[in-house]
Structures are given as structure tokens and as C-alpha cells.
Amino acid sequence: MRSAFVAAALVASALAVPFNKHEEKRALVTTTDIDVITVTDYVTVTLPEGSAPTGGNQRFGFGDHRHHRHHHHGEEPPQTTPSTTSNIFPSTKPSTQQPSTNTNTAPHFAPTQSAPTSAPSSPSNGGGSTPTQNPGATPTDYQEIAVYHHNIHRANHSASDVTWDDNLASIAAQIASSCVYAHNTATGGGGYGQNIAAGVKSDNISAIITDLFYNGEVNWFNGLYDQAQPSMVNFEHWGHFSQIVWKATSTVGCATQDCSGQGLSGVGSDVAPYFTVCNYGGPGNVEGAYGKNIGEPLGQPTAQWNTGL
């Protein structure tokens, strides 16, 4: 028996674009060439029984997209993978969060993290400084699964493997523990890319990365490979994918917070209160750098949430 889950997808990718060495204020637009929107897509994801959160049909939310210039709503979707069906419902709520001006990769160390003041439980972020799994080893915990499911897609686009960054994971945990569903690339000094998701428990991080962020978006990028600055008409539909396979990205750190006690603000009541944040160093979706950072797929077999597990 297979269980169908309705997923609400907002793309959340932080764009790094130089801004002439001056800092942008978070809630104030001070330049005229930045156009930031929030788009909501609803995606139906079918997963094998036991793989998805319990509790019947629920909506999953997936981040907000940020990009420099050119935002339009898509018209007809391209052919998608068999695992997802997309129905598009654009949101009318704009975002005022500006991209960070710092494009440096976050340091590879785990700073002391203060305990959440109101979060009902600790975020899942893979813990400590566990080394990257050995080649061929079966991923078993949150950290290993997150890295593995990023790298199987990166390999299909000729991108080198990412490794786990404890500092990025710690920052992701701070953001997730706020239980406020919103894009945030200022915490910890910024300088990283970001994908966010809501409605999925930590033990299904592979479903977020593979079934939704990658399989649900990769075909939207058809016809755009090798273009330094592709059309942004459907950017809200492929921005998770592009961040995942971005060649200049070398590290990732994720965390998932259970917000059941206080609730997850910024989402509807039909979205389960689980907030996932993945931060990337260096950031993807840099204007004018798409062609050299997103390789064409090599035609490797389609991965699913349970690939390698």
C-alpha cells in the first residue's frame, strides 16, 4: 500500500551577489535592482508506506526563492518525473529579506550553540563532528543521509561531493529552532545559500532532498543548461535543484526542528509543524554563473527517497 502526501513547495535559495561592499538591511530595500518574491507551489508526493510522516494527508512547505532580478510566474510546466505532480498556486506575499553581501564559505567548526528558549525539542542536525561516511557505506543517521542524498544528485551533474559543515548545521539549527517559517541568511554572519522546508520529520530528510527538491524540479531546468544567465521565468520551480547541484558549493549543514509544542508560524494549520533548514557554502544561484555551475545530467538512474538506505 502506498500513501499519498500533498506537499506545499516554496523555494528557498539564498542568492549571493556582490553589492559594491555595502550591507543591505534585512527589512529595507535600498537598491533598485533587487526583486524578491515568495512563491508557493503545491506538490503531491507519493511515498511507500512507512517512509513519510504519520497522521494521514498533510501539506509540506518548501522555502521561498530569492534571486537577483527577473521574476515571473511560470505558465505550462515541463514534463516532470513520475514521482511528483505539480499544481501551482502563487503567493501574493512578498519577502523583504535581502541576500547577504558576504560570499565567503562559513568556517568548518562547530561553535557553542545556545539552547532554544521556546522550542519544544532540540533540532536534528546530525550532531558533533562525525566524519563524512566512507565510500560505499550505507548512510544511517541524519547527517549521513543528508550528505548522501545531496551527492547522488551532484554526481549526476558532474559536481564534486559536498561534505558536512558543523558550523552551517549549527546555524541551521538556530534558525529552525525559532519555529518561524521564514528564509533567514543573516544568522551567523551570512554568506551561505539556503533551502528551507516545512511539514516533514527529521527521519525523512531524504524525501525532502530527493523527491521534492531534486526530482520535483530538475525537469524545469531543461533547455537552460550552458547559459550563464538563464531565463528566470520559472526560477521559482527549479531553485532548490540548482542549489543542490551547484558546482561551487562544497559544504552543507542541515537541521530539522519539531515545533509541535508551540506550533510553526508562517504556514497553514494543515502543514505539520516540522521546520527544516539546509545551509550551503559557498552559496548557489549566483547571477551570471549558472552555465559553469550547473552541469547537464549524465543520465544516471533516478534516485528515490530510499536510495542507498
What CATH code is carried by the domain that includes residue 101? 3.40.33.10
Q: Does residue 303 sit within a domain?
A: no
Task: Compute the distance between CA of residue 191 and CA of residue 37 in angstroms, rounded to an integer.
Answer: 20
pLDDT attached to residue 306: 87
Evaluate whether residue 33 is within a structural domain. yes
- The answer to whether 43 touches 9, Cβ cutoff 8 Å, is yes
Is residue 87 domain-resident?
yes
In this predicted structure, the answer to whether residue 127 has a pLDDT above a threshold of 70 is no
Claim: this prediction has a pTM higher than 0.75:
no
Kindly report the number of other CB atoms within 10 A of residue 140's CB atom: 11
Residue type, 138: T
Q: Is residue 298 part of a domain?
A: no
Q: Per-residue pLDDT for 128 more than 50?
A: no
For the ranges 94-98, 102-106, 215-219, the maximum mean pLDDT occurs at 215-219
Is 300 inside a domain boundary? no
Residue 234 lies in a domain: yes
- For position 136, what pLDDT does the model report? 64
Give the mean pLDDT of 93-122: 28
Q: Is residue 304 part of a domain?
A: no
The pairing of strands 84-88 and 40-48 is antiparallel
Q: Provide the number of structural domains found in the chain.
A: 1
What domain range is 145 assigned to?
Answer: 2-293
3-state secondary structure 83-108: CEEEEECCCCCCCCCCCCCCCCCCCC
Residue 35 lies in a domain: yes
